[in-house]
Amino acid sequence: MRRTKDNQGIWLFLGFLLLAGVAYLFTRTQIAIVDTFMFSANFIIYIGLLISWMYSVRARLLPTKARGYIVAAAILMMAELLVRFLRFRILTEIMIRRYTDYAYNIPLILIPTLFLMTCIRIHRGENNEQNGKEQLLLIPSCALLLMILTNDLHQLFYRRLIPLSEFHGIVGTYTYGPLFYVMYGWMGMTLIAGLAILIRKTYRRNIRGLACFAGVAFIWAGLSLLNWLVFTPLGMLRMYHAPEIHVFSLLGLFEVCIRNRMIPYNENYTEFFSGLGLPVLITDEALTPVYETDIPINASDAQLAAAVAAPVYLDADTRLSGMRLRPGYAFWTEDESELHRESDRLAEANELLSEENDLIAVENELKEKKAHLDAQNQVYDRIAAALYPKQKRIEELLESASPESDAFPSVLAECCVLNAYCKRKSNLMLLSEENLPKPNRELFLAMQESARFLKCCGIDAAATGEEYADFTLTQIHALYDSFETLIEAFLPYMHRMTVSLSGNGIRIAMEADQSPELPITALPVERSESDGCIFLTIQAEGGAGI
């Protein structure tokens, strides 16, 4: 259904583009009102297509740097067509027309620059440490623009053949200076470099995408050559001039990037939430639900309002929490039944201790209770200290993302993965070497839960193979911490993963868009690659699998 809707959008876009070209054919009828109407219709259709495409980009893509570059390029495309319209149809004053002619080169330089910046960002990925350095390309672009806008002083772009007071860019009143060829050299270099990056990105990975890039480039080059070698020398009336050919061909390259998911994409967030298996409710300012998962939150408006200030218990085991967002509120529930069962067991143990120590003097009884509480607090302190970085990361992610934003699904998915680690890590820290069975499934169950929540991120993950191992508790902690560190490092790139226990540690096999550098882990990690897959082995010291 979604694919059909996308195809309909393409044909509708191309239909309006064809209609604009047909309208331009009727701008030379020698009937003033018809010529004006057809030219205006041509211009309005072009601007409408660019505006609608720009808003579709904002809706389809997550708020990344690449999306910002594409939207900026679309705005400059509209500016290019608008300046051209004003230059040839509206403006008459000589000096204004001259500087309008200079300003026309602003989008000509910046659009290819933004295209190359977008391609670099696509190649590196949004989380690469080199991100942002592509903006240095704006320095030579802006320097070139400054030289063009000050052409009246040095004439390195246009060399006038008439006095300055009469010059306004009419063909035959100037010759081209060296700056003109530098500008077109810069434009060609950035376009070719960007297209080369895209081809390298899709080569051997996405043949369909590579064919689309080649097709758009072929059409672009063919129309440009036809316009340059046939229509212009013969002075023939044509449907499209060079600006429209360049603008909509470059837009086609951007669209191919989007449709091949080369830029973080915002799609099917409703299915994403419904598949989480977690109760989530998003409301407006009046607490009217605007989105609710398949697992509902059965709470009154009074309970929802109170949960924003402090957590509220809907029943003995269900804790309702809420937070204010820019457009309204978000609410979620947590099942604390396991924590309560542990508390009940602790209470029973305390009662048994109290009964067994009734014959002990009051002073000794108080000392023993204090020692017990101190030991319990130390356990909780160790758990809190170990989980604080992950919980802090979850808090920062939830505070920085709005449910209305495009990035919210991916942020919530990452929170789920971190939360799974926190849950299993706390369970492991409640164990000791004495009560850890040999062999045990603790490490496999921890990896299995992490794999289950990785599916929330759109990653096909699974824990397979032997479930029992004979690792010590210290080895289990080190192995699971190393596994979590690797998962977080590869999270932005991988889309499939399997993990299993081996005799000397953990084996991970994954498919990823790229292979980043290995992070620092508690245990040594071996990496190899074969047939497009990445294989990682976390080595436990001495090995203890069965």
Q: Encode the chain (546 residues) as per-residue pLDDT tens digits.
A: 455 556 777 888 889 989 988 988 888 888 888 888 998 898 899 999 999 999 888 877 877 888 889 999 999 999 999 988 888 778 778 888 888 889 999 999 999 999 999 999 888 877 666 667 888 999 999 999 999 999 989 999 989 989 888 888 787 888 999 999 999 999 999 999 998 988 888 877 778 888 888 888 888 888 888 888 888 778 778 888 888 889 998 998 888 888 888 887 765 555 555 655 678 887 877 888 877 777 788 888 888 889 888 888 888 788 888 887 655 777 878 877 888 888 888 888 888 887 777 656 666 776 777 656 666 666 677 777 777 777 787 777 777 777 777 667 777 777 888 787 788 778 777 777 777 888 888 888 988 888 888 888 888 899 998 888 888 888 888 898 988 888 888 888 888 999 999 878 999 999 988 888 888 888 999 999 888 899 999 998 754 444
Whether 219 and 324 map to the same domain: the answer is no
**CA angle centred on 483, ends 479 and 484, rounded to 5°:** 120
Listed residues 205, 228, 259: the one ending a domain: 259
**Cross-strand bridge partners of residue 504:** none
Domain membership of residue 381 (yes or no) is no
Q: Given CA atoms 178, 184, 188, 194 in this order, what sign does their dihedral have? A: positive
Give the model's pLDDT for residue 499: 93
Count up the domains in the chain and report the number: 3
- Work out whether strand 318-324 and strand 174-176 pair parallel, antiparallel, or are unpaired: unpaired
Q: Are residues 325 and 239 in the same domain?
A: no
Note whether 244 and 284 are same-domain residues: no
Specify whether 34 is located in the same domain as 166: yes
Is residue 364 situated within a structural domain? no
**Domain with 505 in it: what CATH number?**
3.30.565
- Report yes or no on 349 lying in a domain: no
Cα separation, 282 vs 298, whole angstroms: 13
Tokens of 287: 């607490």
Whether residues 283 and 240 fall in one domain:
no
Contacts of 189-192 spanning 24+ positions with Cβ under 8 A: 190/112, 190/113, 190/115, 190/116, 190/137, 191/112, 191/115, 191/116, 191/250
Tell me whether residue 283 is in a domain. Answer: yes
Do 331 and 224 lie in one domain? The reply is: no
Query: How many residues does the structure list for the chain?
Result: 546
Same-domain status, 211 and 282: no
For residue 365, being part of any structural domain is answered with no
Task: Give the count of alpha carbons within 13 A of 217, CB side only.
Answer: 14
Pair type for strands 328-335 and 280-284 = antiparallel
Question: Is 352 among the domain residues?
Answer: no
* Domain end call among 318, 335, 352: 335
For residues 87 and 236, state if they share a domain: yes
Boundaries of domain holding 53: 2-259
Residues 6+ apart with CB under 8 A from 101: 87, 168, 169
**Pair (274, 172) in one structural domain:** no
The CATH number given to whatever domain includes residue 196 is 1.20.1070.10
pLDDT at 274: 61
Tokens of 474: 């210290």
Q: Is residue 308 a part of any domain in this protein? A: yes
* Domain limit, last residue, from 303, 335, 367: 335
Task: Please name the residues in contact with 326: beta carbons below 8 A apart, sequence gap of 6 or more.
Answer: 402, 404
In a domain, residue 134? The reply is yes
Same domain, 205 and 304: no
Nearest to 466 by CA among 435, 504, 432: 504
Phi, psi of 463 (to 5 degrees): -100, 125
Burial of 101 (0-12, 13-18, 19+ CB in 10 A): buried
- As a whole number of angstroms, the distance between CA 518 and CA 528 comes to 12
Which two tokens mark 156?
A: 């390195």
Same domain, 251 and 322: no
Residue indicated by tokens 């979590």: 484
Same domain for 161 and 209, yes or no, is yes
